[in-house]
Structure 1
């Protein structure tokens, strides 16, 4: 404890003098050599071998872990070289070189040139002069003659267990043999052998036999003939079937909801794919934040329990969103979700969306799925939209049933439409219709498909309301496909050029004097339909020059997508060249295509595919920039 006395000079305590002296000494030492001296390596290792083998040895050779030992002497180094010789042969054998020869030698560099020069030069008093750091004391040279590699001559696979009494034996045996990678003539390596065994076991356990295991494996190496004979024996274990589903973690919802979403009837043959698809269906339902599904293999294989652990999503969710597109400009949206309405147990989603072209307020109520995964749905929507040259105010009411699966959607519904087109004179029309919609998605991956197709079909029969009560039929279909060009095993689909093509058509069958709501008729043009034209800019041109929706629709598009590469690697960007065409008319014979063509770029962004296009509208003689984010079908 120290302090100051009033009116007298303060005395510096002794420990402060010692602290100042220590800091001064350290400061001088740091200024003299700010970097700590690095101790030289005990030896340097040089490997003379083919590039692939040299890289393998430099990564795994045990000798390297002793390189930094400062007290290593020559006698200990010689002892380490003995074990390094055997270790090198073992590492070469894992790469298929069982007849390799290895030669190790040590070079003593002697007195370093810098030290010899220092010994023959008079000493200097220059404090800033620094001696050179000595290099490694020895250089170890490893010479490799790899010799002829060992190649696989034969392979045999045996299956044991209950699979021998199963009707799945032939199919499983063929699948394992067809997928086996180490064919006769293939270079033998330990890594490839291990990987092939793992893949064979994975395929066995993926269907019916989840407890299958490796019973025996042997790689017989003939170093004289440079051949390897491989044999593998797998035990399938019991044949499993799904049993009851036990759910953990539910509080708001009944566990029966999970069972209905999973769609795994008791007695169904076990497959890993079926289990993963069931888990995905539960996760995609929107009721749960996390889902983990597993098969309990401890009980009866013919009635194996499926255990599901879930974490329920919050009862209420409110999402605010902002966005923009070249079709409709800036967009603001607000969405509120209530996942379990009182008394009904239905989910309600209400949404308000505002942009330059469309203002929408709507709500949708969805019931929980039944045993066949069908859900009751009802919805209502108020909308104000630019429908050609004049705004359209519309009301839509819908009630029906829907079923959503991984690749298929089905929808059956009754719909009421009322639309007021603010043209001159105003057009006021209503209708009621019965509709069926069917969608199939067969893409290889989402949301960045590079192969496959999607197909959607809508069919409806309706009746106009008001003064005229006339029947009508309405149909619409669209298809989108991706066709890779020049596929080869050396490159992935993401790096392969592809042709993206799409087509869309629609038709309404009714008497010529029937007035239909404009929301039941067709307009086209914009970012995702016919580029080079504005949003819904292609329709039927009236006598006064105004634009209205028509009864027939035809759209087609061809687009070449070329993946871009940089420094030998495929980037997240594609270049595109495209031509679009579309037409709308009240008579099929009057359809006249309006063509748009241009160039663009595609980016596989973290939030989904982003498309940027510059298109020329041949009918308008104008360039348009189009931007679209996301993929949906």
Structure 2
């Protein structure tokens, strides 16, 4: 072997070089490998410091909304907030710090910030702090996460396509399919110019599938969705393809749980025919009809989508009938009647017929009533026949009023509209309580039409919406004392509007009534108008407002107008059902519109939005009478 010249060999003259020569010599000796393994590496030399537990503070420099997001989801923040992880080895804290920028950027992307810049800074001043009382102090590291969010990414283009039965039908000229496609595109909520966030993206996709499924495409799904993001330009282009699947149509309806209700009664409530598209709203309206029929305690309309049966999809209706007979005992009090006891009995098949029979007996100090209301089980249309008889004796405003009446008619209820038309015979006799003299005794027959329309967010406890009720009656009185018999027309209307303005719940209502007849023609007292009381002009006794005769005895008016405005808000944010209210009412009943002079009532009240309706307690001041009156009522009047 040729050796290198001696003048080229390196010269080790320093002390470190000498130590290296000694080390190389030792490695050549037997047992040197074991000696080398016992030496710590550079990482192992720092191991005690890396394994030392530390704690830290975290300061996030970012806009408020982003700071909340990062504080909630960053590992650095979550570890610090939990007592069991508020102290970690220094090496683990280094790992958390290194992972934080990438984790933060991923979180910011869900808010549409794809070009955000994130960095961390750490300061270790040798401080120490206690994580818990009594424990040894730990080294404290101060961390800072700095976020430069940049411009939010906005949608620059959206393309929504369809495939499946919906696409085939639309291409074939089906107007309904074409309209549904257009409606889906128009209702797409993440449109051009809007910030592209994960929540908005998921919400828009879910809403579109919900629309398709609600319109009969029960198995609709996304066959492809792409969001192409250009972070540098802060733009996102969206492309989606929805597979509608088959259009489901109504097939056979199977009813479960029927006993004393005949199948044809529930079939009469069906708002669809076999072969029609099976839409979600149709099912919901059908279920609502069954519930409103008062024949059932529970109603469940179910359908399990099966693409193989889409052309005639079976529907299952599970029903639990109300008991054949029910009796209710009620105790109550009102400003119009005082304490009262009410006994009601409901029979689902009165006298063995397909009629509901409701018998009511009410006993109060100034009001005694006995009535029987009959309502047939539903007939196709759907409509129900109604019949009733009533006998009542009531005292108010110095008069004792005895009423006897009988009705026969038909009702029809839709989702938002109730209609009732009936013929009625009644005889009303009024007697002056002070001297016992008969002031009026009038029999009459009339044909009546009653119409109630509601568009409310909740029929029992509305906060937004409108209700409107109208009633028209054409009748003829006969053998009257002391007036002469003759024809008359009676019309009433009531409009109520509910709104929510921030924390305030507002209610405004207007009620008008008019009886058209010659002055000499007698009209039954119960068809004339008087007002005042809980649901009219508060601050006055029930039925105390209206015209009087020369002796000061109350008589009915032929013109009525009442208006009211009320605002209520929760007394405590933690209990929104309990509310305080302020209100003002105005109105009157008069013999005619000439010289009509409304009176005012105003005050404060408490509201409790109970499960069975709104309970109201009002303290009202009647401006005309200059006195306070307490009013109490439950429920709402349409």
The TM-score, its normalising length taken from structure 2, stands at 0.80
CA offset at residue 623 of structure 1? 3.9
Q: How far apart are the structure 2 equivalents of 1:222 and 1:294? A: 45
Summarize the Cα distance change of 1:255–1:199 in structure 2 as closer, same or farther, 3 Å threshold.
same
Q: Which deviations, in whole Å up to 9, do the C-alpha atoms of 1:71-111 show, x marking residues without a partner?
A: 95333443444444432221121122222233345555647
Match in the other structure for 1:580: 586
Match in the other structure for 1:124: none
Is 1:506 aligned with 2:514?
yes
Summarize the Cα distance change of 1:135–1:286 in structure 2 as closer, same or farther, 3 Å threshold.
farther
Secondary structure of the residue aligned to 1:224 is helix
Rg larger for: 2
1:416-565 → structure 2 map (5 Å cutoff) = 416-423=425-432, 424-426=436-438, 427-446=440-459, 447-464=461-478, 470-482=485-497, 495=503, 500-509=508-517, 512=520, 514-550=521-557, 552-559=558-565, 561=567
Q: Is the 8 A contact 1:290 1:312 kept in 2?
A: yes
Summarize the Cα distance change of 1:42–1:357 in structure 2 as closer, same or farther, 3 Å threshold.
farther
Match in the other structure for 1:118: none
Summarize the Cα distance change of 1:501–1:511 in structure 2 as closer, same or farther, 3 Å threshold.
closer
Is 1:626 aligned with 2:628?
no
Summarize the Cα distance change of 1:103–1:619 in structure 2 as closer, same or farther, 3 Å threshold.
closer
Match in the other structure for 1:609: 614
Q: Is the 8 A contact 1:242 1:268 kept in 2?
A: yes
Q: Is the 8 A contact 2:128 2:140 kept in 1?
A: no
CA offset at residue 336 of structure 1? 1.8
1:332-347 → structure 2 map (5 Å cutoff) = 332-347=341-356
Q: Is the 8 A contact 1:367 1:376 kept in 2?
A: yes
Q: How far apart are the structure 2 equivalents of 1:291 and 1:610? A: 27
Q: How far apart are the structure 1 equivalents of 2:556 and 2:164? A: 67
Match in the other structure for 1:7: none
Pairing partner for 1:350 from 353, 359, 384:
359
* CA RMSD in angstroms, aligned pairs only: 3.4
CA offset at residue 457 of structure 1? 1.4
Secondary structure of the residue aligned to 2:535 is coil
Q: Which deviations, in whole Å up to 9, do the C-alpha atoms of 1:230-252 show, x marking residues without a partner?
A: 22221222223323321122233
Q: Is the 8 A contact 2:442 2:477 kept in 1?
A: no
CA offset at residue 385 of structure 1? 0.7
Give ranges in structure 2 of 5+ residues lacking alignment: 1-51
CA offset at residue 368 of structure 1? 0.4
Q: Is the 8 A contact 1:452 1:483 kept in 2?
A: yes
1:88-99 → structure 2 map (5 Å cutoff) = 88-99=104-115
Secondary structure of the residue aligned to 1:273 is helix
Summarize the Cα distance change of 1:85–1:617 in structure 2 as closer, same or farther, 3 Å threshold.
closer
CA offset at residue 631 of structure 1? 1.0
Secondary structure of the residue aligned to 1:205 is helix
Summarize the Cα distance change of 1:58–1:420 in structure 2 as closer, same or farther, 3 Å threshold.
same
Is 1:49 aligned with 2:61?
yes
Is 1:150 aligned with 2:153?
yes
CA offset at residue 507 of structure 1? 0.6
Q: Between 376-385 and 298-307, report the one with greater CA deviation.
A: 298-307
Match in the other structure for 2:12: none
Match in the other structure for 1:60: 73
Match in the other structure for 2:314: 305
Match in the other structure for 2:370: 361
Q: Which deviations, in whole Å up to 9, do the C-alpha atoms of 1:130-174 show, x marking residues without a partner?
A: 945535765554333323322222222212222232312443233
1:584-595 → structure 2 map (5 Å cutoff) = 584-585=590-591, 588=592, 592-595=596-599
CA offset at residue 515 of structure 1? 4.4
Summarize the Cα distance change of 1:356–1:406 in structure 2 as closer, same or farther, 3 Å threshold.
farther
Q: How far apart are the structure 2 equivalents of 1:554 and 1:71? A: 77
Q: Is the 8 A contact 1:291 1:308 kept in 2?
A: yes
Q: How far apart are the structure 2 equivalents of 1:236 and 1:342? A: 52
Is 1:112 aligned with 2:128?
yes
CA offset at residue 274 of structure 1? 1.8
Secondary structure of the residue aligned to 1:168 is helix
Q: Is the 8 A contact 2:477 2:523 kept in 1?
A: no
Is 1:400 aligned with 2:409?
yes
Match in the other structure for 2:28: none
Q: Is the 8 A contact 2:559 2:593 kept in 1?
A: no
Secondary structure of the residue aligned to 1:547 is coil
Q: How far apart are the structure 2 equivalents of 1:613 and 1:539? A: 22
Q: Between 359-368 and 335-344, report the one with greater CA deviation.
A: 335-344
Q: Is the 8 A contact 2:473 2:490 kept in 1?
A: yes
CA offset at residue 569 of structure 1? 12
Q: Is the 8 A contact 1:449 1:482 kept in 2?
A: no
The TM-score, its normalising length taken from structure 1, stands at 0.80
CA offset at residue 506 of structure 1? 2.7
Summarize the Cα distance change of 1:379–1:303 in structure 2 as closer, same or farther, 3 Å threshold.
same
CA offset at residue 47 of structure 1? 3.8
Give ranges in structure 1 of 5+ residues lacking alignment: 1-39, 116-129, 485-491
Q: Is the 8 A contact 2:462 2:498 kept in 1?
A: no
Is 1:206 aligned with 2:211?
no
Q: How far apart are the structure 2 equivalents of 1:226 and 1:359? A: 76
CA offset at residue 471 of structure 1? 4.3
Is 1:251 aligned with 2:259?
yes
Summarize the Cα distance change of 1:589–1:451 in structure 2 as closer, same or farther, 3 Å threshold.
closer
Q: Is the 8 A contact 1:241 1:269 kept in 2?
A: yes
Q: Is the 8 A contact 2:581 2:607 kept in 1?
A: no
Q: Is the 8 A contact 1:114 1:132 kept in 2?
A: yes
Q: Which deviations, in whole Å up to 9, do the C-alpha atoms of 1:535-576 show, x marking residues without a partner?
A: 1112331122211224x1321314253757978999864644
CA offset at residue 502 of structure 1? 0.5
Secondary structure of the residue aligned to 1:307 is strand
Q: How far apart are the structure 2 equivalents of 1:185 and 1:572? A: 43
CA offset at residue 615 of structure 1? 4.3
CA offset at residue 266 of structure 1? 2.3
